[in-house]
Amino acid sequence: MPWTVAGQDAAVRILTAAIAGERVAHAYLFAGPAHTGKALTATQFAQALNCTAEGAGTPPCGACRSCEKIAGGAHPDVEFVGIGAVCVEDGHDHAKDNSRDIRICQVRRIEQIVSRAPYEGRRRVIIIDPADALNVASISALLKTLEEPPPYVVFVLVTSAEEVLLDTVRSRARRVAFGGQSRELIERTLRTHWNAEPAEAAELARLSGGRLGWAIAALRDPKLLDKREDALDRCEELAQSGLAQRFAAAGTLGSGYSRDRAGTQAVLELWQEWWRDLLLVAAGRDAQIVNAPRLDTLRPLAAQCGVAPVVTALRAIADARQQLIENASPTLTLEAMMLALPRLQPNAVAARLRN
């Protein structure tokens, strides 16, 4: 089983060449959109660095004892560090106290681990995912180790929010870019590897936004599609609501941000998608919208507002997402966004369909 990550050939080539040429960097930054295979690539990179299969072929083999243990998260030389993981203080697990970031005590544990030679592999691999969850204290503690780790250590920092990371972190790691996968590749992968029906594969590929991981998750859990529709319904409703309703929505979304940052960002991303569809309809490019079943409700809204107000809305949501990443006050940021969104007149077609 060589590399199985789909649609990231450039990243795989970089990593394979580094291993073959014995030019493996001490730290890598896997950067790109969410659900595009970064975590899987990090795991398979760790497998390739420690694969014990003999004979011709490019690691990882996926079948040796080392590859199997890494895939199962049980290899003593491969450490996965994330939000709510075990720290150095008496082995305390922060998953039990609703931790929202990667703490300095977890970094202290990393320091202890990398100070010891590999137990059974060739390399110790530390995978930090998401790296943008490192807080100020943990980043400061990590910098020295990240700059001069022992020669047998490789760090892999995984992030979908590269802009959050300090330049001092990014400069210490070799960047490997990940991009969205094509609709054709996602549809083909869902059909050939996940036994999706053709129509279902085509629909999920269309909705995925180039994220194979999301499409696979939605195939396995149809509730994700229900949540997606609920978020789009809410966006459409708020576009036609007054300030009282908008501020109430901002308060609800803002209060939950600290508990579920990724979830809040996912909702805002769907709101951007709705407004982007509205922009395409206003520009006469109906065939390019993502949410084709909503076309009948989008047309009257697009007719009344035109292009310029929709561009304003898209900028407001994009600015809010960036400010949230930069740790601005969630509720104030979302209230400002709501103020900037144009108010559309209630759509009779949409109201009739909802009822």
DSSP 180: P
Q: How far is the first Cα of the chain from the last one, in angstroms, to the nearest whole number?
A: 52
Q: What percent of the chain has pLDDT over 70?
A: 92
Per-residue pLDDT at 100: 73
**How far, in Å, CA of 146 to CA of 247, rounded?**
43
| Contact indicator for 204, 186 with CB cutoff of 8 Å | yes
| Contact indicator for 174, 27 with CB cutoff of 8 Å | yes
3-state secondary structure of 175: strand
Give residues with Cβ within 8 angstroms of 308, minimum separation 6. none
| Contact indicator for 86, 92 with CB cutoff of 8 Å | yes
**How far, in Å, CA of 48 to CA of 59, rounded?**
5
Q: Which amino acid is at 128?
A: I
Strand partners, 125: 78, 154
- Could you tell me which residue, 95 or 188, shows the higher pLDDT? 188
Residue 350 has pLDDT above 70, yes or no: no
CA 39 from centre of chain: 10
3-state secondary structure of 127: strand
**How far, in Å, CA of 310 to CA of 144, rounded?**
46
Per-residue pLDDT at 88: 59
Confidence of residue 326 (pLDDT cuts 50, 70, 90): confident
Residue 309 has pLDDT above 80, yes or no: yes
Phi, psi of 125 (to 5 degrees): -120, 125
Q: Which amino acid is at 225?
A: L
- pLDDT tens digits, one per residue of 272-291: 999 999 999 999 999 999 99
Per-residue pLDDT at 346: 79
Can you give the pTM of this predicted structure?
Answer: 0.84
Q: Tell me the two tokens of residue 113.
A: 């681990």
Which among 178, 190, 221 has a CA at the least distance from the CA of 34?
178
- Mean pLDDT to the nearest integer, 311-323: 95
CATH number of 9-177: 3.40.50.300
- Mean pLDDT to the nearest integer, 168-188: 94
Residue 193 has pLDDT above 70, yes or no: yes
- Mean pLDDT to the nearest integer, 320-343: 93
Q: Tell me the two tokens of residue 63.
A: 């079948």
Tell me: cis bond preceding 60? Omega within 30 of 0 counts. Answer: yes
**How far, in Å, CA of 17 to CA of 5, rounded?**
16
Total Cβ atoms within 10 A of residue 255: 12
Confidence of residue 42 (pLDDT cuts 50, 70, 90): very high
The CA-CA-CA angle for residues 64, 70, 72, to 5°, reads 105
The domain ranges of the chain are: 9-177, 182-221, 223-354
Phi, psi of 165 (to 5 degrees): -70, 140
Residue 127 has pLDDT above 50, yes or no: yes
- pLDDT tens digits, one per residue of 43-63: 999 999 999 988 656 789 999
- Mean pLDDT to the nearest integer, 143-170: 92
Per-residue pLDDT at 345: 87
DSSP string, 63-108: -SHHHHHHHTT--TTEEEE-TT-B-SSTT-BGGGGT--SB-HHHHH
DSSP string, 259-273: T-HHHHHHHHHHHHH
Instruction: Print burial letters for 81-111: b (CB count within 10 Å at least 16), e (below 16).
Output: bbbbbbbbeeeeebeeeebbbbbbbbbbbbe
Residue 348 has pLDDT above 80, yes or no: no
Residue 91 has pLDDT above 80, yes or no: no
Strand partners, 79: 126
Q: What percent of the chain has pLDDT over 90?
A: 74
- Mean pLDDT to the nearest integer, 142-148: 89
Q: What share of the chain is helix, strand, coil (3-state, %, to 5)?
A: 60, 10, 35
Strand partners, 126: 79, 155
Q: What is the mean pLDDT of the chain?
A: 90
- Could you tell me which residue, 98 or 196, shows the higher pLDDT? 196
Confidence of residue 161 (pLDDT cuts 50, 70, 90): confident
